[in-house]
Amino acid sequence: MSTWTEGLQNAIEYMENNLTENIKVKDIADKAHVSEFHFQRIFSMLCGFSVAEYIRNRRLALAARDLIGSNARVIDIAIKYGYDSPDSFARAFTKFHGITPSAAKEKGVLLRDFAPLKIILSLEGGTLMDYRIEEKAAFTVLGRKRSFNMETSYQEIPKFWEEHLSGEEKELVAGMFGLCIDSDGSNFDYLIADNYLPWQEVPEGYETRTLPAGTWAVFPCTLETLQDVNTKMWQEWLPNVKEYKLGGNYNIELYAPTTGVDSNEFYCEIWLPIVKA
């Protein structure tokens, strides 16, 4: 198995072995040998749900088994799986299973399972993927910032772009870059940004961020293929590249629309910071 595959398997096993404990994402990410920021983004991309969702769903599935397989009280099961009160546990349980914890003790009720993740080796890849490795000098961007949670970012960031481009804000910043920067591991700052010129005045509500000089893996795409390229970057390119590993806790989307071109054909790039392994 590759180093990344082994690391991900170690992270999954750590979560499974500690579902009744207070699990910190940083500790999970340490098992995969990547930062908390990158682990959560990679996990969500590969699995289709966040780390928090995985842990929550696994706990609720196991809680149901405990309820039907023992005489344990609901409050004891709630505490076992990290809920502060029977009420908060009941709300989460009912949302997941469609019935209350008390009802789950009745014979013949229909419950929902959520199986643990397993890594299965399979033949994948065999597809063409363009990329280049570039050394870039430090540069500064000017942007409008909003903070996002890992769990809801995929739904909320497009709304942020729509809001920005539909108003007067686009006159201040056209949106050449979409910049993700780690905030505290579980949350990150996202900037809709342009290159910053030193003599440029920073408008109210905007800020500058400087990206250090370094090495980047650059993946060309169009607006239409961006999501597919992003997925292949995490699923195929990163696990198989041996010369590099992930660098800083940030990544960039470059948008370079061309006048007269259909919006889906706008040229884009994904920039991933890397360092020599």
Q: Which domains does the chain have, with CATH numbers?
A: 3-104 (1.10.10.60), 132-276 (3.20.80.10)
- Exposed e or buried b per residue across 38-47, where buried means at least 16 C-beta atoms within 10 angstroms of its C-beta: bbbbbbbbee
Q: Which one, of 227, 200, 216, lies nearest residue 143 by Cα?
A: 200
Residues 6+ apart with CB under 8 A from 22: 82
Report the percent of the chain where pLDDT is more than 70.
92
What pLDDT does 258 receive? 59
pTM: predicted TM-score of the whole model, two decimal places: 0.78
What is the mean pLDDT of the segment spanning 141-147?
95
**pLDDT tens digits for 58-95?**
999 999 999 988 888 999 999 999 999 999 999 999 99
Lowest mean pLDDT among 126-130, 137-141, 154-158, 220-224: 126-130
What is the mean pLDDT of the segment spanning 198-213?
92
What pLDDT does 260 receive? 56
Beta-bridge partner residues of 147: 189
Position 224 confidence tier, pLDDT thresholds 50, 70, 90: confident
Each as own residue / partner, the long-range contacts of residues 65-73 (CB below 8 Å, 24 or more positions apart, any chain) are 67/101, 67/104, 67/105, 68/104, 68/105, 68/109, 68/111
Position 175 confidence tier, pLDDT thresholds 50, 70, 90: very high
With tokens 């696990």, the residue in question is: 239
